[in-house]
Amino acid sequence: MFVRGLKRKCIDGEEDIEGTLAGIKAIPSYNLQRQSLLDMSLVKLQLCHMLVEPNLCRSVLIANTVRQIQEEMTQDGTWQMINTQSTGQTSLDRLVSTDILCRSSREQAEGKQVPGYSNFNKDFEDDQTQDSSETMSTASSVQAPRNLQSNVWEMENPQENRGNFQKSLDQIFETLENKSPNSVEDLFSEVDNSYYDLDTMLTGMMSNTKMGHCDGLETFSSPATTTSNSNCKSDLNELDHIVEILVES
């Protein structure tokens, strides 16, 4: 079902993607495969948070994987340009999903109520009503708060910051506990599932002895070099933030 040996071409990658999409719908492009790997990793990290004392080695490895993917996506501009494809809706979901942990602490710092997952769901619904022309501007506006929030970190006392994170995390845990396991699925319900089965993925994480459906994803290859730019840096700040929460909680 999945294309094996799909190697990424640096320059004309986009043409390939469009060609692939125009072709057999069931074969995901490299970008979509990479995207689903990113999703999977973020869910794993979030599930890590639900443990009281996560396995540090595992968390670090997953966070590094997320960082790698986001660096590569930033490098070829797909981080902001995903929305030009038909899967525009999903791009914002990704941005929001990594932002959730950052946003709660930022708003905490600004004295607002911590939104928790209930608000996250609401934001989700709001995003879906936007058309693709607006997603560009929304994407950049989501970028801006992230930059603001990194400044907030610098200003604040790190000790206090962690305390805030812990509080906001606790609230997230609480809302998570109150919800059924399906709620995690709901968070990603707008993702186009035709390319992979999220059910399998999520249950697979718990106890799966057989192979999952993502055989095609094994054939990733990413560019050897990564260059950093300002966008990359702000994304890294989020990731640093995630790692910080992981190790401090």
Partner 1 sequence: LLGAGGGNDIQWCFSQVKGAVDDDVAEDKLLSELQYRKLKTGMRTAAKSGLSLSENKTQSHSRGEYNVYSTFQSHEPEFDYLKSLEIEEKINKIRWLPQKNAAQFLLSTNDKTIKLWKISERDKRPEGYNLKEEDGRYRDPTTVTTLRVPVFRPMDLMVEASPRRIFANAHTYHINSISINSDYETYLSADDLRINLWHLEITDRSFNIVDIKPANMEELTEVITAAEFHPNSCNTFVYSSSKGTIRLCDMRASALCDRHSKLFEEPEDPSNRSFFSEIISSISDVKFSHSGRYMMTRDYLSVKIWDLNMENRPVETYQVHEYLRSKLCSLYENDCIFDKFECCWNGSDIVMTGSYNNFFRMFDRNTKRDITLEASRENNKPRTVLKPRKVCASGKRKKDEISVDSLDFNKKILHTAWHPKENIIAVATTNNLYIFQDKMN
Minimum Å gap between C-beta 84 and partner 1 is 23
Determine which residue in the list 199, 218, 226, 233 makes contact with partner 1, applying CB under 8 A: 218
Q: How far is the CB of 190 from partner 1 (least distance, A)?
A: 21
Binding mask 143-172 toward partner 1 (x if CB under 8 A, else -) reads ---------------x--------------
Number of alpha carbons in the 13 Å side-chain half-sphere of residue 55: 6
Q: Where are the beta strands (DSSP E) in 23-175?
A: none
Q: Which two tokens stand for residue 217?
A: 């994803």
Q: How far is the CB of 77 from partner 1 (least distance, A)?
A: 19
Maximum CA extent, the chain: 53
CB-CB contact of 108 with 168 (8 Å): yes
DSSP code at position 216 = G
| Shortest separation between residue 237's beta carbon and partner 1, angstroms | 8
Binding test (CB under 8 A) with partner 1, winner from 50, 61, 144, 148: 61
Cβ contact 186:32 at 8 Å: no
106 binds partner 1 (CB under 8 A): no
Look up residue 29 and give its two tokens.
């492009």
Compute CA distances 50 → 98, 125, 149, 162, 186, whole Å: 16, 25, 24, 17, 18
* Residues within the interface to partner 1 (CB under 8 A): 4, 34, 37, 40, 52-53, 55-58, 60-61, 63-65, 68-69, 158, 201, 204-205, 207-212, 214-222, 224, 240-241, 243-244, 247-248
